[in-house]
């Protein structure tokens, strides 16, 4: 097969160069047609019967303006349905396709960064008997497994079971599933990076995060800034750090102690007043969560009112959530039971406690740090995309 040229590069060629192009015929002109490949368009001079929509290979001579076709080989049937605004062609060609290339670069950079740190990449099952008990997350049920099963909302339990074998660290780059979450920053099925290290704590995970994201900025932009959703953000280490208490005081003018027992008020202030201010111009960690919002994080040895939990914000977008992991099985069981009770009270499905995960904690988990990072959001921030739809091949609604 003859080597193929890229439409975009034709303009740089000298006149009378022999070229071969392959792509789709997107329009007919008076004396030929327009061929579009994944890099751009080229005018082709040809008397061949070219049907719009067909894929074709054109061999000929570039005259400096257009391609004088010597031969046109039609490679597929064509119709003009591809031109409609809702066709895959219209949806994916152009910007969206270059976003997918950038997404590939982000995934590759994540892997090379964590591989270099000696972490083991794993992929644990997506279908689980006990999805996470986070009070505000709903799992998607899976039928046909002979027993109650769900898609995980995070692979946390299985990854910690692997960690309890004494591995220095594991990471997973895969899908997580959360029922009912759909918006500019949410898809019910999204890509999440989770990584865990033994003999480590939240501080180490923050250092990892700073280094990983600044490496992504280097690879994608050659600099230390990401374009962000609204404005560029400096992601070079070290990032700013602000505690939940300071952030509520500064941006909402509220003593966090007065709202911490009321989820509605706490989270309303968080989304309306606090989050929009975080990570503006410079990436920021929100740290020292109130103990009540510890989730699966260990309480601080210095201040038991706070948990060693953090989230990273870049341009107002929550990028990740990390912990010094809770390793005390008795405390873990108390929290899971409390979550179950709370879910029952709110009328949400009450999932069972994962006893295999509990057994791993009882058998002993070294002090560990863990972090879960939304990869689609990272790609959005790295590209300046305003919606998650722009950085995935197909949204859940278009599958």
Partner 1 sequence: MYDFSQIKKNLKIKLDGVPFNVVDFQFVKPGKGNAFTRTRLRNMYTGAVIERTFKQHEKLEPADMDERQMQFLFKEGDDFVFMDTSSFEQLHLSKDQLGENQWYLIDNTNVDVLFFNDKPIGVTPPTFVLMKVIRTEPGFKGDTSGGAMKPATMESGLEVNVPLFINEGETLKIDTRTGEYAERVNVKK
221 lines the binding site for partner 1 (CB under 8 A): no
Is residue 57 within 8 A of residue 81, CB to CB? The reply is no
Q: Residue from 61, 102, 220, 293 that binds partner 1 (CB under 8 A)?
A: 293
Percent of the chain as helix, strand, coil, to the nearest 5: 35, 30, 40
Cis peptide before 256 (omega within 30 of 0): no
Contact 27, 56 (CB under 8 A): no
> Among 200, 205, 206, 194, which residue's Cα sits nearest to residue 170?
194
Q: Does 331 bind partner 1 (CB under 8 A)?
A: no
Q: How far is CA 58 from the centre of its chain?
A: 39
Q: Is 268 in the site for partner 1 (CB under 8 A)?
A: yes
Question: How far from chain centre, in Å, is Cα 49?
Answer: 45
Binding flag, residue 94, partner 1 (CB under 8 A): yes
Query: Is there a contact between 326 and 300 (Cβ–Cβ < 8 Å)?
Result: no
194, 234, 288, 311: which one binds partner 1 (CB under 8 A): 311
219 binds partner 1, rule: CB under 8 A: no
> Dihedrals φ, ψ of 292, to 5°?
-65, -25
Q: According to CB under 8 A, which residues from 118 to 177 bind partner 1?
A: 134-137
170, 119 Cβ separation under 8 angstroms: yes
Q: Does 348 bind partner 1 (CB under 8 A)?
A: no
Dist CA 212 CA 208 (whole Å): 6
Q: Which two tokens stand for residue 319?
A: 């990028």
| Residue of the chain from 18, 83, 145, 338 that contacts partner 1 (CB under 8 A) | 83
Nearer to partner 1, 8 or 250 (CB): 8
Q: Does 295 interact with partner 1 (rule: CB under 8 A)?
A: yes
Distances in Å between the alpha carbon of 288 and those of 8, 314, 323?
51, 18, 10
Residues 11-70 that bind partner 1 (CB under 8 A): 11, 26-27, 34, 36, 38-41, 43
Interface stretch with partner 1, choices 3-11, 206-214, 228-236, 247-255 (CB under 8 A)? 3-11
If one asks whether residue 264 binds partner 1 (CB under 8 A), the answer comes out as yes
- Contact between 292 and partner 1 by CB under 8 A: the answer reads no
Closest approach, Cβ 165 to partner 1, in A, equals 27
Nearer to partner 1, 185 or 213 (CB): 185
Given the rule CB under 8 A, which residues bind partner 1? 7-8, 10-11, 26-27, 34, 36, 38-41, 43, 83-86, 90, 93-95, 97-98, 134-137, 180-186, 263-264, 266-268, 270-272, 275, 293, 295, 311, 318, 321, 372
């Amino acid at each position: 097969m003859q080597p193929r040229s890229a439409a975009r590069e034709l303009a740089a060629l000298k006149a009378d160069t022999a070229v071969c192009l392959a792509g789709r015929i997107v329009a007919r002109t008076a004396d030929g047609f327009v061929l579009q490949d994944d890099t751009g368009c080229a005018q082709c001079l040809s008397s061949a019967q070219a049907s719009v929509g067909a894929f074709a290979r054109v061999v000929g001579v570039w005259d400096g303006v257009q391609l004088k076709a010597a031969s046109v080989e039609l490679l597929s049937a064509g119709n003009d349905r591809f031109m409609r605004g809702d066709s895959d062609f219209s949806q994916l060609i152009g910007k969206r396709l270059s976003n997918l290339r950038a997404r590939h670069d982000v995934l590759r950079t994540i892997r090379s960064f964590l591989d270099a740190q000696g972490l083991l990449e794993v992929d644990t099952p997506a279908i689980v008997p006990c999805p996470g008990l986070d009070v505000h997350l709903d799992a998607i049920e899976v039928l046909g497994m002979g027993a109650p099963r769900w898609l995980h909302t995070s692979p946390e339990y299985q990854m910690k079971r692997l960690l309890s074998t004494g591995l220095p660290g594991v990471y997973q780059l895969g899908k997580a599933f959360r029922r009912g979450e759909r918006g500019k920053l949410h898809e019910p099925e999204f890509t999440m990076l989770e990584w865990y290290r033994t003999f480590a704590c939240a501080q180490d995970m923050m250092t990892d995060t700073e280094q990983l994201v600044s490496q992504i900025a280097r690879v994608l932009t050659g600099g230390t800034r990401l374009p962000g959703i609204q404005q560029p953000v400096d992601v070079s280490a070290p990032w700013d750090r602000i505690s939940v208490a300071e952030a509520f005081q500064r941006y909402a003018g509220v003593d966090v102690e007065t709202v911490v027992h009321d989820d509605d008020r706490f989270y309303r202030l968080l989304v309306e007043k606090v989050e929009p201010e975080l990570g503006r111009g410079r990436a920021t960690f929100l740290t020292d969560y109130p103990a009540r919002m510890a989730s699966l994080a260990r309480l601080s040895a210095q201040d038991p009112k706070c948990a060693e939990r953090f989230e990273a914000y870049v341009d107002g977008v929550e990028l990740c959530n990390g912990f010094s992991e809770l390793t005390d099985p008795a405390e873990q069981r108390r929290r899971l039971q409390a979550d179950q009770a709370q879910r029952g009270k709110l009328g949400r499905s009450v999932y069972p406690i994962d006893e295999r995960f509990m057994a791993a904690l009882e058998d002993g988990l070294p002090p560990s740090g863990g972090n879960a990072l939304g990869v689609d959001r990272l790609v959005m921030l790295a590209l300046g995309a305003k919606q998650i739809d722009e950085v995935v091949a197909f949204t859940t609604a278009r599958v």
